[in-house]
């Protein structure tokens, strides 16, 4: 057997629905977000899970909870799985940020690996803290299935790091809509991306909701 990681983005929040920057602020899931979490749990409960790791934010804990309840596992919370800190952009729309923080915004769009949202985090810092969690998982589990519940930017940055993609391109190379799951299998040749942003477990209605 091989180790397989399932990267699950949390369900819908008011911020994801309105496409506003949401990193360190901590909204609850919407009712649709809770449904996304339950649908994932119902679909994947029959698998054997070695462990469930989660960001300690409310939206990720709530997303992990339905599966945790079914398979009787406690989520292991790790700060390294938190979302990018957007600093002064938190809760604002891209349009507002483009006006109020124009120069910082243009630099960040060009290379978020080395430029940060005003008062926030660079992608390389997120890669460093998040990949420490992945290394912990790899040290503890040589095979089986492990769920990692995290956030849009953080999941894309982890996938870029595993796939050898420049983390500065995370916004432009990989999709990660709410409630989607990406799967990486660790083979003798290294990480293999088995699925990206899969939402086949969701209903058409959930997949077509507005937002990101």
> Domains along the chain?
3-207 (3.40.50.1240)
pLDDT of residue 134: 98
3-state SS record for 121-178: CCHHHHHHHHHHHHHHHHHHCCCEEEEEEECHHHHHHHHHHHHCCCHHHHHHHCCCCC
Q: How far is CA 6 from CA 69, 72, 102, 104, in A?
A: 18, 18, 36, 33
Burial of 129 (0-12, 13-18, 19+ CB in 10 A): middle
Q: Quick check: 123 and 159 in contact, CB under 8 A?
A: no
List per-residue pLDDT tens for the chain, 212 residues long.
799 999 999 999 999 999 999 999 999 999 999 999 999 999 999 999 999 999 999 999 999 999 999 999 999 999 999 999 999 999 999 999 999 999 999 999 999 999 999 999 999 999 999 999 999 999 999 999 999 999 999 999 999 999 999 999 999 999 999 999 999 999 999 999 999 999 999 999 999 999 98
Q: Is the dihedral of CA 181, 185, 189, 190 positive or negative?
A: positive
Q: What are residue 4's DSSP bridge partners?
A: 145, 185
pTM value surpassing 0.95? yes
């Amino acid at each position: 057997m091989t180790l397989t990681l399932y990267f699950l983005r949390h369900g819908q929040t008011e911020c994801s629905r309105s496409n506003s920057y949401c990193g360190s602020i901590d909204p609850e899931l919407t009712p649709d977000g809770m449904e996304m979490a339950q649908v994932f749990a119902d679909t994947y409960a029959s698998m054997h899970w070695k462990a469930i790791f989660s960001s300690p934010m409310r939206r990720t804990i709530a997303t992990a909870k339905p599966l945790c309840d079914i398979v009787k596992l406690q989520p292991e919370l790790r700060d390294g799985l938190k979302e990018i800190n957007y600093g002064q952009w938190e809760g604002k729309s891209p349009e507002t940020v483009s006006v109020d923080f124009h120069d910082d915004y243009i630099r960040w769009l060009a290379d978020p690996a080395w430029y940060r949202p005003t008062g926030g985090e660079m992608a390389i810092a997120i890669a460093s803290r998040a990949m420490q969690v992945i290394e912990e998982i790899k040290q503890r589990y040589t095979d089986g299935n492990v769920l990692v519940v995290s956030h849009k930017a953080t999941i894309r940055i982890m996938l870029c790091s595993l796939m050898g993609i420049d983390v500065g391109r995370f916004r432009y190379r990989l999709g990660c809509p709410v409630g989607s799951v990406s799967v990486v299998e660790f083979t003798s040749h290294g990480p293999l991306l088995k699925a990206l942003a899969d939402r086949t477990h969701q209903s058409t209605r959930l997949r077509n909701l507005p937002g990101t």
